[in-house]
């Protein structure tokens, strides 16, 4: 795929509950799809780490240098183990404390009498942060340099994500084409390798086995920023399918 205007991202999932298996992560698929479809931003790496300050700091420093953007989820709530905000401030060497705008938003939402210490904690973040407004539960996410920090609760994250768009430099939109074939990977592996070499700079080709309606099949997925190159790959694939007399599953 062409490297022109290629903007990338890493996703950092923070939370002991994910690593223990108690909570199933649903944010990676949503974020990856949203970034690719809406912003032309390709997610190149995903990490899951515990609520440990040193580990968060190490990963933020590394990923923020390596990728255009880093999206973190989890650890920005009101409890003692929500240490993402403080860890990010340390990692990026910026001041940490009450964010004036975030504090006002939360105080107005809860009211002064119910604005307890736990809720006040959600207004603590890097002082230079820009806010990601939250239409679901008021507590904002925040942006520190190229690091976007979002909550771990999928429904809340989903409701906030559009508020990130204005801060993102968009890359070229990646288009995709899928052919679901009733065959096995070994039957088309050589042809796919030849195609990948032929279109290497422009198209990414992947094959993914499936089992459907009692039959084994392969989904061949082609992705590219160029619609014309994608069409050329599809034509070449159709030639292989005809020669090998492979059935296409229409969904």
Measured CA to CA in angstroms, residue 106 lies from 79, 90, 156, 158, 163 at distances of 16, 24, 16, 20, 18
Residue 6 has pLDDT above 90, yes or no: no
Residue 33 lies in a domain: yes
Strands 203-212 and 141-144: unpaired
Do residue 99 and residue 220 come from a single domain?
no
pLDDT at res. 98? 98
Cα–Cα distance between 148 and 9 in angstroms, integer? Answer: 10
Can you give the pLDDT at residue 2?
42
Residue 186, pLDDT > 90, answer: yes
pLDDT digits 0-9 by tens, 208-219: 999 887 888 999
Is 227 found in the same domain as 147?
no
Q: What is the pLDDT at residue 1? A: 46
Residues 69, 134 within the same domain: yes
199, 134: one domain: no
Counting residues of the chain whose pLDDT is more than 70, the rounded percentage is: 98
Give yes or no: residues 67 and 112 share one domain.
yes
Residue 2, domain member (yes or no): no
Residues 123 and 224 in one domain: no
**pLDDT value of residue 100:** 97
pLDDT band, very low/low/confident/very high, at 92 (cuts 50, 70, 90) = very high
Q: What is the pLDDT of residue 3?
A: 44
Work out how many domains the chain is built from and give that number. 2
Instruction: Check residue 251 and give its pLDDT.
Output: 63
Q: Which residue has the higher pLDDT, 172 or 48?
A: 48
Q: Mark whether 32 and 140 lie in a shared domain.
A: yes
Q: Judge whether residue 16 has pLDDT over 60.
A: yes
Q: Are 146 and 180 part of one and the same domain?
A: no
pTM of the model: 0.83
Mean pLDDT for the chain overall: 94
Here the CATH number for the domain that contains residue 224 is 3.30.310.50
Name the token pair of 110.
């809860």
Answer yes or no: do 100 and 179 share one domain: no
Bigger pLDDT: 201 vs 97: 97
Distance CA 140, CA 132 (A): 5
């Amino acid at each position: 795929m062409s490297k022109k205007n290629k903007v990338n991202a890493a996703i950092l999932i923070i939370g002991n509950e994910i690593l223990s298996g108690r909570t199933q992560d649903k944010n990676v698929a949503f974020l990856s799809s949203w970034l690719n479809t809406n912003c032309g931003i390709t997610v190149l790496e995903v990490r899951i780490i515990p609520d440990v300050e040193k580990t968060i700091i190490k990963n933020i420093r590394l990923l923020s240098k390596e990728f255009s953007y880093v999206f973190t989820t989890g650890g920005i709530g009101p409890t003692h183990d929500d240490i993402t905000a403080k860890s990010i401030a340390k990692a990026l060497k910026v001041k940490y404390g009450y964010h004036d705008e975030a504090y006002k938003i939360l105080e107005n939402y809860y009211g002064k009498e119910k604005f307890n210490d736990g809720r006040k904690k959600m207004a603590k973040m890097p002082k230079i942060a820009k806010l990601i407004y939250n239409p679901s539960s008021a507590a904002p996410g925040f942006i520190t340099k190229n690091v976007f920090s979002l909550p771990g609760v999928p429904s809340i994250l989903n409701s906030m994500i559009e508020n990130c768009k204005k801060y993102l430099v968009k890359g070229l939109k990646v288009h995709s084409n899928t052919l679901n074939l009733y065959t096995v990977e070994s039957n088309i592996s050589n042809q796919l390798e030849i195609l990948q070499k032929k279109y290497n700079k422009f198209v990414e080709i992947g094959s993914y086995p499936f089992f459907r309606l009692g039959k084994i099949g392969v989904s061949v997925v082609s992705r590219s920023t160029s619609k014309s190159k994608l069409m050329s790959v599809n034509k070449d694939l159709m030639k292989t399918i005809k020669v090998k007399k492979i059935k296409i599953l229409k969904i």
